């Protein structure tokens, strides 16, 4: 086939794709046709000519990754997934309907070929940075270029305006991620119309200053609008020649081109174009204006030539992979275990040995967590992570490990960085850290964590939510967990955060009470059968070592709550998490002196407890004991489900104070006397 014919076929396939997009939105009665239509030449070119992917094996490890950051334009991707062979025409017809594979925004785990859930603008492009981290790290860990691939993302003005894209792109520049490619669909239209009302900086200059390679392709040629796929492909080739920087290609487009009355207008952004405009569009495109969901078999065959290309690439990769496996049995074993998400043999032993060293000395749980991280890291080479500039405070440094970064980078303090470095320096970029760690988990079989103060989880919350929605095992380490952090004052003291995190579906919020529970919490985070993310909540201050019963903690922690102290005849239940468990133990002792039998329940993870059978929950919190007090140095909201109408809470429902940790705790009622008083009140109300 000569080039001319090929580009003619491309043009026709693009036209056919646009018709399908317009019809799908029309049929659904809602959706986002505008940018999906005008992005189509780019997405088509990527799937057809650029991406290494194989529709016959969508999860092929060697594939390039494509992320549609403008998730609302999902049809741009769905239609190309159909043309490439991942989806059927019926899937396209099912756009935005219940249980279809083509929901309003792309959803990870639902649709083959969709690498992550997008829709919350800014997160696709930022998570793509994590995919690029993953590829670099995994290649270094397994010492093979087989795990190195390109990461492509397509975004619009909305993504560029969102702050998280700046955070992540700035870090991507510092990291010199040569395998990352961003295509910016610059149509200058967003929901409120002309983007000039909100976005006036020179975006290319901005990316240049981040250290990116930049280029621009304009479909707005002087001779008229031309969707110049060849020009775009040439820009791609040029960009690929630059290996030491991430790439940013701006493509100037006209939204909804060439829909009569709708192109270049926000009217096409988020509503069906209307029957008349769709007919007009089809006429402009040379399609039959009276036919819906037109698919020309020749064009479909042309598009699906990429299957052959993909299959060939995969088979070649697989051959190389087999040879690699043979030559590198140790690495191959590691790879296999990682792929199967199995823990290394020495995992339990590493934690057991650490636990054997724990003394009765009080320790902050963040310090215990740091020890656990290092024990696990020793057994698990695929475990890595970092902090948003708080590594020392979060206790997240993997001892002896290099910092993650390109060869030739580094500082006096951290030494030479390495592509396989296990310490990630995120800078003060909590939201990007959340997105990047999500990308690392989606883009590799490694395990990672990101850390900050609990207070600042609000900055990364939207990424935490996406990890919960995608059901991926991210680990959010959140230290300095209450007003007990002290003199940094109310700006740094979390109050509502625990309850608000617990309100998030599919996120396990784990708040261990001492060194032993912290080690067990780490064990369970890795051992739980669910893939769900975990938030590990840790103290800044020292907490006593509650060596009452390691056996109880070992058995009880995975169940989320367990009786630390108590018996058949208990009259009142005291329950708490984290640093307040020692408080209720003391309160229990006081009550005992008064002749009242108090049951002390440690609640390290409500989500794990709520998953237990009723019989276990009844054993821990028997219905018959209605006198109850929940104690937590945080908002009481999440405890009401356990305390009942006769129960009380000793919690904090106001902002913190500027005193020392112990002064704050006392002033805000986190005292033994207060717990005892509330227990007596509850006993009276029973």
Ligand X SMILES: Cc1ncc(C[n+]2csc(CCOP(=O)(O)OP(=O)(O)O)c2C)c(N)n1
Residue from 635, 370, 382 nearest 509 by CA: 635
- Rounded Cα distance, 406 and 420, in Å: 9
34 vs 473 by CB, closer to ligand X: 34
In the complex, minimum distance from the CB of residue 169 to ligand X, in angstroms, rounded to a whole number:
15
73 contacts ligand X (rule: CB under 6 A): yes
Considering the rule CB under 6 A, would residue 118 count as an interface residue with ligand X? no
Q: Can you tell me which of 58, 120, 364, 405 binds ligand X, judged by CB under 6 A?
A: 120
C-beta of 94 vs 158, nearer to ligand X: 158
Nearest approach, Cβ of residue 233 and ligand X (Å): 22
- Residue closer to ligand X by CB (options 269, 511) is 269
Cα separation values, 445 from 61, 147, 245, 348, 441, Å = 10, 11, 24, 20, 7
- Residue whose C-alpha is closest to residue 633's, from 686, 678, 674, 579: 579
> Of the two residues 158 and 439, which places its CB atom closer to ligand X in the complex?
158
Given 90, 143, 163, 191, the residue binding ligand X (CB under 6 A): 191
Q: Is 252 in a helix, a strand, or coil?
A: strand
The smaller minimum CB distance to ligand X, of residues 247 and 465, is found at 465
Task: For residue 352, give the H/E element and its range.
Answer: helix 347-357
* Identity of the residue, 119 or 419, whose beta carbon is nearer to ligand X in the bound complex: 119
Binding mask 144-183 for ligand X (x = CB under 6 A): ------------xxxx--x---------------------
Shortest distance, position 124 Cβ to ligand X, whole Å: 10
Residues in CB range of 380: below 8 A, 6 or more apart: 343, 344, 347, 447
Which long-range contacts link 564-567 to residues 24+ away (Cβ below 8 Å)?
A: 564/600, 564/601, 564/602, 565/598, 565/599, 565/600, 566/597, 566/598, 566/599, 566/600, 566/601, 567/597, 567/599
The stretch near ligand X (CB under 6 A) out of 115-123, 273-281, 392-400, 444-452 is 115-123
Residue whose CB is less far from ligand X, 58 or 122:
122
State in angstroms the smallest separation of the CB of 249 from ligand X.
16
Question: Which 487-546 positions form the footprint of ligand X (CB under 6 A)?
Answer: none
Contacts with ligand X in 380-439 (CB under 6 A)?
none
Find the binding residues for ligand X in span 628-667 (CB under 6 A). Answer: none
Residue 624 CB partners (closer than 8 Å, separation 6+)? none
**Which residue shows structure tokens 């709550």?**
561
**Contact between 176 and 211 (Cβ < 8 Å):** yes
Enumerate the active-site residues.
430
| Part of the chain binding ligand X (CB under 6 A), chosen from 49-57, 117-125, 222-230, 325-333 | 117-125
Judge whether 179 and 132 are in contact, CB under 8 Å: yes
In whole angstroms, how close is the CB of 369 to ligand X at the nearest point?
Answer: 32
In this structure, are residues 618 and 672 in contact, taking their beta carbons and an 8 Å threshold? Answer: no
- Figure out which of the listed residues 190, 396, 452, 518 binds ligand X, where binding follows CB under 6 A: 190
CB nearer to ligand X: give 17 or 139. 17
Least Cβ distance, residue 287 to ligand X (angstroms): 22
By C-alpha distance, which of 512, 485, 495 is closest to 458? 495
Give the residue among 395, 398, 383 at the shortest CA–CA distance from 346: 383
Stretches 67-75, 273-281, 344-352, 478-486: which one binds ligand X (CB under 6 A)?
67-75
What's the min distance (Å) between Cβ of 644 and ligand X? 39
Say how far apart CA 652 and CA 633 lie, in whole Å.
Answer: 6
Q: State in Å, rounded, how far the first CA of the chain is from the last one.
A: 85
Cα separation of 488 and 380, whole Å? 36
Residue of 117, 127, 166, 187 interacting with ligand X (CB under 6 A): 187
Q: Measured from the CB of residue 98, what is the shortest distance to ligand X in angstroms?
A: 21
If binding means CB under 6 A, how many residues of this protein chain bind ligand X?
A: 20
The C-alpha angle 454, 460, 461, rounded to 5 degrees, equals: 85
What is the bridge-based pairing of β-strands 572-576 and 410-411?
A: unpaired
Pairing state between β 542-543 and 534-537: unpaired
35 near ligand X (CB under 6 A): yes
Query: Least separation, in Å, of the C-beta of 257 and ligand X?
Result: 12
CA proximity to 570, closest of 600, 538, 532: 600
Region binding ligand X by CB under 6 A among candidate stretches 40-48, 166-174, 186-194, 501-509: 186-194
- Return the structure tokens found at 117: 């859930």
Q: Are 255 and 40 in contact (CB under 8 A)?
A: no
Between residues 189 and 285, which has the closer beta carbon with respect to ligand X? 189
Contact with ligand X (CB under 6 A): which of 103, 119, 124, 370? 119
Cα 213 from Cα 344, distance rounded (Å): 40
DSSP secondary structure letter of residue 154:
E
Comparison of 163 and 392: residue with beta carbon closer to ligand X: 163
**One of 65, 72, 262, 314 touching ligand X (CB under 6 A):** 72
- Considering only the stretches 69-77, 320-328, 443-451, 553-561, report the one whose residues sit in contact with ligand X under the rule CB under 6 A: 69-77
CB environment 23-52: b (16+ within 10 A), e (fewer): bbbbbbeebbbbbbbbbbbbbbbbbbebbb
Q: Which residues pair with 508 in a beta bridge?
A: 534
Stretch that binds ligand X, among 118-126, 222-230, 276-284, 301-309 (CB under 6 A): 118-126
Shortest separation between residue 188's beta carbon and ligand X, angstroms = 8
Cβ atoms of residues 644 and 628 within 8 Å: yes
Least distance (Å) from ligand X to the CB of residue 213?
Answer: 22
Beta bridge partners of 69: none
**Residues 449-488 contacting ligand X, CB under 6 A:** none
Distance from C-alpha of 445 to C-alpha of 349, rounded to nearest angstrom? 22
Touching ligand X, residues 262-281 (CB under 6 A): 269
Instruction: Choose between 227 and 508: whose C-beta lies nearer to ligand X.
Output: 227
Q: Binding residues for ligand X, per CB under 6 A?
A: 34-35, 70, 72-73, 119-122, 156-159, 162, 187, 189-191, 255, 269
């Amino acid at each position: 086939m000569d080039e001319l014919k090929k580009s003619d076929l491309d043009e026709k396939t693009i036209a056919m794709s646009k018709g399908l997009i317009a019809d799908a939105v029309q049929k659904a009665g809602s959706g986002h046709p505008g940018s999906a239509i005008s992005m189509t030449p780019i997405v088509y070119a990527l799937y057809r000519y650029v991406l290494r992917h194989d529709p016959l094996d969508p999860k092929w490890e060697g594939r390039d990754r494509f992320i549609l950051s403008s998730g609302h334009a999902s049809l741009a991707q769905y239609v190309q997934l159909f043309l490439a062979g991942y989806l059927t025409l019926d899937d396209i017809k099912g756009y935005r309907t219940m249980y279809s594979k083509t929901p309003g925004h792309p959803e990870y785990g639902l649709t083959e070929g969709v690498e992550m859930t997008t829709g919350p603008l800014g997160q696709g492009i930022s998570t793509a940075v994590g995919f690029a981290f993953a590829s670099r790290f995994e290649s270094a860990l397994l010492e093979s270029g087989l795990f190195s691939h390109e990461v492509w993302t397509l975004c619009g003005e909305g993504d560029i305006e969102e702050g998280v894209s700046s955070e992540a792109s700035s870090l991507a520049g510092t990291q010199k991620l040569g395998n990352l490619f961003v295509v910016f669909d610059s149509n200058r239209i967003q929901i409120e119309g002309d983007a000039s009302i909100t976005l006036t900086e020179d975006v290319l200059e901005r990316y240049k200053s981040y250290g990116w390679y930049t280029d621009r392709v304009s479909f707005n040629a002087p001779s008229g609008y031309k969707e110049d796929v060849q020009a775009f492909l040439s820009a791609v080739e040029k960009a690929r020649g630059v290996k030491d920087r991430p790439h940013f290609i701006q493509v100037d487009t006209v939204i909804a081109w060439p829909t009569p009355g709708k192109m270049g207008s926000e009217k096409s952004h988020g509503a069906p174009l209307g029957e008349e405009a769709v007919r007009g569009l089809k006429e402009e495109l040379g399609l039959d204006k009276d036919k819906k969901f037109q698919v020309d078999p020749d064009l479909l065959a042309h598009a699906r030539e990429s299957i052959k290309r993909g299959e060939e690439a995969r088979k070649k990769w697989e051959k190389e992979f087999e040879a690699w496996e043979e030559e590198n049995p140790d690495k191959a074993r590691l790879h296999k275990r990682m792929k199967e998400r199995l823990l290394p043999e020495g995992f339990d032993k590493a934690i057991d040995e650490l636990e054997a060293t724990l003394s009765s000395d009080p320790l902050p749980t963040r310090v215990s967590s740091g020890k656990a991280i290092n024990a696990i890291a020793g057994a698990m080479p695929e475990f890595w992570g970092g902090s948003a500039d708080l590594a020392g405070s979060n206790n997240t440094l993997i001892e002896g490990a290099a910092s993650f970064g390109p060869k030739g980078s580094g500082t006096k303090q951290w030494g030479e960085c390495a592509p396989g470095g296990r310490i990630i320096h995120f800078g003060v970029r909590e939201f990007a850290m959340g997105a990047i760690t999500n990308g690392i988990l989606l883009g590799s079989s490694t395990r990672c964590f990101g850390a900050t103060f609990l207070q600042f989880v609000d900055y990364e919350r939207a990424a935490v939510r996406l990890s919960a929605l995608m059901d991926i095992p991210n680990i959010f380490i959140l230290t300095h967990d209450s007003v007990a952090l002290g003199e940094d004052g109310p700006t740094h003291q979390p109050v509502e955060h625990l309850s608000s995190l617990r309100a998030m579906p599919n996120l396990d919020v784990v708040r261990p009470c001492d060194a032993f529970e912290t080690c067990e919490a780490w064990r369970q985070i890795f051992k739980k059968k669910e893939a769900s993310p975990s938030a590990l909540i840790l103290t800044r201050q020292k907490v006593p070592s509650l060596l009452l019963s390691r056996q109880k903690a070992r058995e009880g922690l995975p169940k989320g709550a367990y009786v630390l102290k108590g018996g058949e005849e208990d009259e009142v239940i005291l329950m708490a998490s984290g640093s307040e468990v020692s408080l209720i133990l003391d309160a229990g002792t006081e009550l005992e002196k008064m002749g009242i039998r108090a049951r002390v329940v440690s609640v390290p993870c409500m989500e794990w407890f709520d998953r237990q059978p009723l019989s276990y929950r009844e054993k821990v919190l028997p219905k018959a004991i209605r006198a109850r007090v929940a104690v937590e140095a945080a908002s009481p909201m999440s405890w009401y489900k356990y305390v009942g109408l006769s129960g009380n809470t000793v919690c904090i429902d106001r902002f913190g104070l500027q005193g020392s940790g112990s002064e704050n705790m006392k002033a805000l009622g986190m005292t033994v006397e207060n717990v005892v008083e509330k227990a007596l009140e509850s006993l009276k109300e029973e």
